[in-house]
Amino acid sequence: MTRSPFQLAMQRLLRNRVAIVGGLLLALIAFGCVLVPVLFDLDPNLTQPALRNQPPSARFLFGTDGLGRDLVARVLVGGRTSLLVGLAATAVSVLVGVAYGSIAGFYGGKIDEAMMRLVDFMYGLPYMFLVILIMLMFSETARGDMLPVFLALGLVQWLTMARIVRGQVLALRRQEFVLAAELLGVSDARLLIRHVLPNVLGVIMVYATLMVPSVIILESFLSFLGLGVALSWGQLVSDGIAVINPIRSYWWILLWPSSFLGVTLISLNFLGDGLRDALDPKGRT
Amino acid sequence: MSDAMPLLKVRDLRVHFATEGTVVRAVDGVDLELRAGETLALVGESGCGKSTLARALVGLNPITSGSAELNGRTITGLTRAAARPFRRELQLVFQDPYASLNPRFTIAQTLAEPLLLHEKANRSNVDSKVCELLGQVGLDPELRARYPHEFSGGQRQRISIARALAVEPSLLLCDEVTSALDVSIQAQILDLLRSVQQKLGLSYLFITHDLGVVRYIAHRVAVMYVGQIVELRDTESLFESPAHPYTKALLASIPRVSQGPQARTPLAGEVPSPARPPSGCRFHPRCSLAFERCPKEHPDLYPVSGGSSRCFLSQ
Amino acid sequence: MTPEAKELLRIRDLSVIFTTRERTVRAVDSVSFDVRPGEVVGLVGESGCGKSVTSLSILGLHEQPAGRMTGSIRLGERELVGASPSALREVRGNRVSMIFQDPLTSLNPYLRVEEQLAEVLELHLNLRGPAARARMLEILSQVGIAGEERLRAYPHQLSGGMRQRICIAMALLCSPELLIADEPTTMLDVTIQAQILELLRSIRKQRNMSILFITHDLGVVSEICDRVIVMYAGRIVEQARTAELLHSPLHPYTEALLRSTPRVDLPGGGSLHPIGGLPPRLSAAKLQECAFVPRCPRAREGCKNGEPALTSAGGERLRRCIVPVAEMVAGR
């Protein structure tokens, strides 16, 4: 039975228990965040001051926060944001980075030099400063939205992806099967899209998977600075920390969002590692 | 084999690479001719320039000066677009069977690509053409839906050869195509190349370091040393009575099955780097027959029976 | 086996089994042979025949996950199969040394030559400082490298032939009784190969050192080996003195190998007879027939009745084939 390299890689991935566990946890969390609030009609913004700062109970599984809002609802709906921001920002950086990096790597020479100089320059700029600047360009109200955040995050993350893709493409460009196709008269576009990129796809997938947790953390960090999205795990953690004090600790306000955040990040890392091992079991590439 | 016009004519070809302040003279003034249906072997040790020469002929290396003509038309110094029509006539088969096939293409896809690109087949008959090609190289057409990783090294070389043959070239450059294969598999591939040549009238420029293979498959031999041809002879003439001292030393160094240990002194010294070729005759530092003229003057190729030799002793 | 010359290396029934998730492979199957002091034994075969795995087994150098070794490898009085890592480390580089195919990857690219040699001297001979330096220069001149500058060089600054000489020098530092050479000249130019073979021959003579020489090149075997062992599919199929084996092979595989090698000394390269088919896929199962049957030009009915045993063919000759000797030599 003939199996393509991709199918073989998927087989290897499925044998990796740690990666599978990560994948399942992610699926569970995603499912929870997307569907549970709908199924159970949960409202993250319903304030009930009389019920504020309640510890976990039968009614409020995760407890309530300072405004009496149900934390289950907040964590799950906030999760939607964090995951979406993570995925969207990663998608933006993948698209831009792959396009940019593959052109630089494919043509090499002066084109590559010029393009990578730009990347080097941008790398040198203080990252957070850039992000904050971008955020400040949006009006006060727009700032709580997702769009500015994931634009800001994606547009800086693409640099790493561009570098990685450029390196892979540069190396593959000189591989004999690509040269053979070139010698047969295959056009540049087809060489890049049909011959080179499919063999870089694996690496892209791995780095994309490992980029998502990065982005989620960055978003959380922005939330600490008050620049994040209105309702996300980062924001919730920020809220949770604010109420930690030695006298009276509402630990549940911090615990749930940070656990969800942590588990998601670890799962993404397991999955990413598993993908890397599945795609390149001998540590080559 | 005595056609009026040679298929391939190479004149004073030079390929120099400039790196870190030195110039590497990888190919430094090569002249050769190849006729239709002929196999010319390019032999030599590391740094002699044989692979660089082959890659320059197909445009993978830029040419510094000199020219090459295929069927009377110049194929050097062309833009990518202008070179395209010649892609059909001149193909290269690589050494490493594990790197020369796209791991994500099935064999059918790999072979269909050139067929469709050069209009040797259309969508409706490409599959039967692919089967035909596989049959030509001795592989079962049933295997065409498989991926390269499911084949052995020898089988992959057959597929690479099939891919090259798909565009119906007149000249095939074989760059150490059997060097990575086991001896028994090498013999299979050599046989295949010979039979394909007989059937299709192809010419081969066969690059190798293995003189046994040369004697088996080549009609003529060009021995290269530090970027230049030092001897160009009919195969049997070269092996029976080598003219150039380097050729003699090369032949003497080869371990032979028929005799026991050879009581001879091996050729001393290292193979010079093409970045710093010796003055005058490039072989003189290692040559047991060198005399005063050798380090000072650079010898041309002087005619000897069956070919020519770049040695003052042949003048 | 002549009784006076006591064997230096005695391998009996060595089997090496590699287990991966996908399959189990018996890379070496019940291999037995000896190496006597001062003898050069060639281990010949094509890829996958088990020659490299056999040689790596002697020093326990298998890739992890390690192959499971059964059988016995005795170096003098010492048993090496199942020996502790510290016992093996004491033998490696000391009584038994090894050189490999690619001299570039055998040397640490970040260390100068002198640093690499110093490591061995310190570890096994407890030599440092000027005494170590003197020994280094001595050994380098023995392998034909003159000059102190070479000591300060990094591997990438040296040619392939030079690097292999350095590897040989490293291997000789502790005056080993046995040198295992795994395809040491395969990656070298022909003229350099001739130099290295000459070097090995002279070293062997000077020190009465044994060499286990692994190669696929029958020409090289002819140049340097006293005795040859031919392997196929993990097992020994023929064993004989070199001249006997090359002029009068008694196993169809050896014969076919010789006939499929292009001959530089015969007009037209001699006539080439390729061996059809592919090398066998090794599995863990015991063979039900001779491993060479699918490709053997002399195969007959009896060949499928289980694997033939290794039998004597006079003197020290061994062969694993049921075709009568008379038939093999007829018409030669």
Instruction: Average the pLDDT over C301-327 and give the result.
Output: 91
Asked if pLDDT for residue A42 goes beyond 90, the answer is no
Residue A175 domain-assigned (yes or no):
yes
For residue C174, what pLDDT is reported?
85
Q: How far apart are CA B243 and CA B230, in angstroms?
A: 9
Asked if pLDDT for residue B2 goes beyond 60, the answer is no
Residue A285 domain-assigned (yes or no):
no
Inter-residue contact C190 to B253 (CB < 8 Å): yes
Contact A6 B96 (CB under 8 A): no
Asked if pLDDT for residue C5 goes beyond 70, the answer is no
Could you say which residues from 127 to 186 on chain A have a Cβ atom under 8 Å away from some Cβ of chain B?
175-181, 183-186
Largest CA distance in chain A: 77
CATH number of the structural domain spanning residue A168: 1.10.3720.10
Read off the amino acid at residue C159.
Answer: S
Residue A212 domain-assigned (yes or no):
yes
Residue A54 domain-assigned (yes or no):
no
Q: How many other CB atoms are there within 10 angstroms of residue B50's CB atom?
A: 29
DSSP summary character for residue A64 = B
Picking from A177, A178, A199, A204 by the largest number of B CB atoms within 10 A of its own CB, the best residue to mutate is A177
Residue A106 domain-assigned (yes or no):
yes
Inter-residue contact B225 to B42 (CB < 8 Å): no
Could you say which residues from 8 to 67 on chain B have a Cβ atom under 8 Å away from some Cβ of chain A?
58-60
At residue C315, what are phi and psi to the nearest 5 degrees?
A: 65, -130
CA distances from B199 to B37, B136, B196, B202, C113 (A): 10, 10, 5, 8, 55
Interchain contact B144–A (C-beta under 8 A): no
Q: How far apart are CA A264 and CA B58, in angstroms?
A: 52
Q: What digits encode the pLDDT tens for the residues B173-199?
A: 999 999 889 888 999 999 999 999 999
Residue A17 domain-assigned (yes or no):
yes
Q: How far apart are CA B217 and CA B40, in angstroms?
A: 9
Instruction: Average the pLDDT over A213-234 and give the result.
Output: 83
- Sketch the domain layout of chain B as residue ranges: 8-89+170-271, 101-168
Residue A207 domain-assigned (yes or no):
yes
Asked if pLDDT for residue A128 goes beyond 80, the answer is no
Q: Which chain B positions have a beta carbon within 8 Å of C275's beta carbon?
A: 184, 187-188
Q: Which chain C positions have a beta carbon within 8 Å of B213's beta carbon?
A: 262, 269
Helix or strand (DSSP H, E) at C193: helix C190-207
Q: Which residue of C has its CA nearest to B220?
A: C268
Q: How far apart are CA A159 and CA A165, in angstroms?
A: 10
Kindly give, in sequence order, each residue whose CB lies less than 8 Å from that of residue B130, ignoring residues fewer than 6 positions away.
B107, B108, B111, B112, B115, B141, B144
Helical ranges in chain A per DSSP H: 5-14, 17-39, 71-107, 109-124, 127-137, 140-143, 146-173, 176-183, 188-190, 197-224, 233-242, 251-279
Q: Which residue of A has its CA nearest to B150?
A: A2
Interchain contact B213–C (C-beta under 8 A): yes
Q: How far apart are CA C125 and CA B21, in angstroms?
A: 44
For residue A144, what pLDDT is reported?
62
Concatenate the DSSP letters of all residues of B254-267 into one string: S--SSSSS--SPPP
Helices B153-165/B126-136 angle, 10° precision: 120
For residue A259, what pLDDT is reported?
93
Tell me the residue range of the domain where A255 lies.
5-37+67-279
pLDDT tier at C187 (50, 70, 90 boundaries)? confident
Concatenate the DSSP letters of all residues of B151-181 into one string: S-HHHHHHHHHHHHHTT--SEEEEESTTTTS
**Which has the higher per-residue pLDDT, B2 or C266?**
C266
Closest CB from C190, C257, C265 relative to B183: C257
Inter-residue contact A94 to A204 (CB < 8 Å): yes
At residue C208, what are phi and psi to the nearest 5 degrees?
A: 55, 45
Asked if pLDDT for residue C189 goes beyond 70, the answer is yes
CA of C227, closest CA in chain B: separation in Å?
12
pLDDT tier at B265 (50, 70, 90 boundaries)? confident
Q: Which residue of A has its CA nearest to B103?
A: A5
Inter-residue contact C318 to C236 (CB < 8 Å): yes
Instruction: Average the pLDDT over B201-230 and give the result.
Output: 95
CA distances from C305 to B50, C167, C291 (A): 51, 47, 12
Q: What digits encode the pLDDT tens for the residues A16-33?
A: 999 999 999 999 999 999
Instruction: Average the pLDDT over A215-234 and give the result.
Output: 82
Pick from A24, A79, A86, A123: nearest CA to A211: A86
Instruction: Average the pLDDT over B169-174 and give the result.
Output: 95
How many domains is chain A built from? 1
CA of A114, closest CA in chain B: separation in Å?
21
- pTM of the predicted structure, to 2 decimals: 0.87
The terminus-to-terminus CA distance of chain A in angstroms comes to 25
Query: Nearest 10 degrees: CA dihedral of B59, B60, B64, B69?
Result: -20
Residue A44 domain-assigned (yes or no):
no
Q: What digits encode the pLDDT tens for the residues B110-159?
A: 999 999 999 889 999 999 999 999 999 999 999 999 999 999 999 999 99
CA distances from B257 to B240, C261, C265 (A): 17, 10, 9
Q: Can you identify the CATH homologous superfamily of domain B8-89+170-271?
A: P-loop containing nucleotide triphosphate hydrolases (3.40.50.300)
For residue A62, what pLDDT is reported?
87
Inter-residue contact C80 to C117 (CB < 8 Å): no
**Bridge partner list, C35:** C9
Q: How far apart are CA A204 and CA A168, in angstroms?
A: 10
**Which has the higher per-residue pLDDT, A64 or B109?**
B109
Pick from B39, B34, B37, B44: nearest CA to B68: B34
Q: What digits encode the pLDDT tens for the residues B225-259?
A: 999 999 999 999 999 999 999 999 999 999 888 76
Q: What percent of chain B has pLDDT over 90?
A: 74
Instruction: Output the average pLDDT for chain A.
Output: 87
Q: Which long-range contacts (CB under 8 A, 24 or more apart) does A240-247 make?
A: A243/A53, A243/A66
For residue C265, what pLDDT is reported?
85
C96-99 vs C178-182, strand pairing mode: parallel
pLDDT tier at C4 (50, 70, 90 boundaries)? very low
CA dihedral for A54, A57, A63, A67, sign (positive or negative): negative
**Bridge partner list, C71:** none
Inter-residue contact C175 to C129 (CB < 8 Å): no
pLDDT tier at A218 (50, 70, 90 boundaries)? confident
Asked if pLDDT for residue C1 goes beyond 50, the answer is no
Asked if pLDDT for residue B4 goes beyond 80, the answer is no
CA of B215, closest CA in chain A: separation in Å?
28
Contact C267 B236 (CB under 8 A): yes
Read off the amino acid at residue A5.
Answer: P
At residue C15, what are phi and psi to the nearest 5 degrees?
A: -130, 140
Helices A251-279/A197-224 angle, 10° precision: 170
Contact B215 C264 (CB under 8 A): yes
Asked if pLDDT for residue B1 goes beyond 80, the answer is no
